[in-house]
Amino acid sequence: MAIDIKNLNHTQLNDLITKAQSRQHELKKEKVGKLREKVHALLKAEGYTFEDVFGGVRGKRRSTGSVAPKYRNPADPEQTWSGRGKRPRWFNDALKAGKKEKDLAI
């Protein structure tokens, strides 16, 4: 199926490119699917699961857990901040009032 691209106009050429890219994507998905089947068959034949070999459950992120607080609000000791993420309002207010970060450290 040879196509003479010299006889195609701009619209026909763009349509051909789109169809070719779509087909290329389909072929890649098929190849990945076949490879996935082979890997699972090999794992099953050896008596292992995907998680045994690669660890954890696919697609889930592991949680980092909570972080110990580094700073405490002197006006309200219940308010703490770990030093990660956006600074809390009380922290910014204390800095504006002349306090230093080390003054707020726990």
H helices of the chain, in order, are: 10-46, 50-54, 89-96, 101-104
Q: How far is CA 50 from CA 38, 41, 92, in A?
A: 12, 11, 48
Number of domains within the chain:
2
The two structure tokens encoding residue 87: 């600074």
Give the Cα separation of 53 and 39 in Å (integer). Answer: 11
d(CA 70, CA 102): 10
Question: Is residue 62 situated within a structural domain?
Answer: no
Tokens 């070999």 sit on residue: 53
Residue-wise pLDDT for 80-102, tens only, equals 999 999 999 999 999 999 999 98
Please indicate, yes or no, whether residues 78 and 44 belong to a single structural domain of this protein.
Answer: no
Q: What pTM was computed for the model?
A: 0.46
Residues 45 and 76 occupy one common structural domain:
no
59 domain-assigned? no
Residue 66 inside a domain? The answer is: no
Question: Is 60 contained in some domain?
Answer: no
13 and 50 belong to one structural domain: yes
For 28-68, the pLDDT digits (tens) are: 999 999 999 999 999 999 999 888 888 776 566 666 778 89
State the residue range of the domain holding 80.
71-104
Within a domain: residue 13? yes
